[in-house]
Amino acid sequence: MVSKHYKLHKRLKPKRSRLKKILKNRFFWVGILAFLFISAFFYAFLFSPLFEVRHVEFAGNQKIPTEELEPFVAQRIPGKLLFFQVNHLFFVDSQKMQEDMLGAFPAAEKVFVKKRLFDTVVVEVQERMEVALWCRKKSYEVEFSDAPKGNTTVTEQRFALDASGIIFDPKETDPPRLGEAGPPSGKEAESHVALFTPETKEETQLGQQVIHEELLESLLYFQREVDAFALFKTLGLRVSSLSVISPDQVNAKIQGGWQVYFNPRQSIDWQITKLRLVLDREIPAEKRTNLEYVDLRFGDQAYIKYR
């Protein structure tokens, strides 16, 4: 006869005794109190009016009206907390606001958004500095009902240009028209040189680079050095415009009614030296009124043409 052996199981403790043991554990209550304290702290931190953004300060903006900046910034102050928007100083996305402002305001070169305890956002704007006036001609086809073909209308667009070759401010009015003789006066003397680049059918937008920074630097250097000639200061002459004809030719229009052709790819200093020598030694005062251009583009030579 086979005997069967049965394993005796220990009697299970009731669940209520386990709960009592947990409730008697001091670490359990410490954890509960810590959780409640942390929850209360974060609730007070997130929803306390102490950190609610109430003030926005602007600095550095002169060309960009504060009236335009205020509503733009106000829309971007609320930050995201999960699926909610909260008006809280520490949830203001400074980096995103800076990027948005640079895209919306081309006249701003740099933007810094700072938070100041307890309820203030400070927006510092560094605006672009105008170094030249960029001009370009644009053609429009105008159709008339009584004409078989449309007429072409040419207009001139003008924008402020910064040292990086970026346009940022449209000019509604015509730039100062410098006379053919005599020194400029008043605002005309303080106006920036007009810069013309080859015509293009592509649309330009504010904030776009329209000329390479290195080329612009060379052109403005030529203009400054020529304007500093003793002869120019004596006669009240200056470079009124620079026209980029090709990568190898730029025409500088002189206020007296004549032009200087130079090559921006060659030594600018040597071409300036040639121009100074030619004006001092080769072109007497009585011939300057009939001067058409001086061409500096070819080696050691300077070619002079009269009308």
pLDDT digits (tens, 9 = 90+) for 25-44: 777 777 777 776 676 666 66
pLDDT band at residue 16, thresholds of 50, 70 and 90? Answer: low
Q: Mean pLDDT of all residues in the chain?
A: 85
Tens digit of each residue's pLDDT (9 = 90 or more) over 81-128:
777 788 999 999 999 999 999 999 999 999 999 999 999 999 999 999
- 49-127 CATH fold: Ubiquitin-like (UB roll) (3.10.20)
Tokens of 255: 């206020």
Burial 149-182 (b: 16+ CB within 10 A, else e): eeeeeeeeebbbbbeebbbbbeeeeebbebeeee
pLDDT the model gives residue 70:
97
Domain ranges of the chain: 49-127, 132-306
What is this structure's pTM? 0.77
Query: How deeply is 238 buried, as exposed, middle or buried, from its count of CB atoms within 10 A (0-12, 13-18, 19+)?
Result: buried
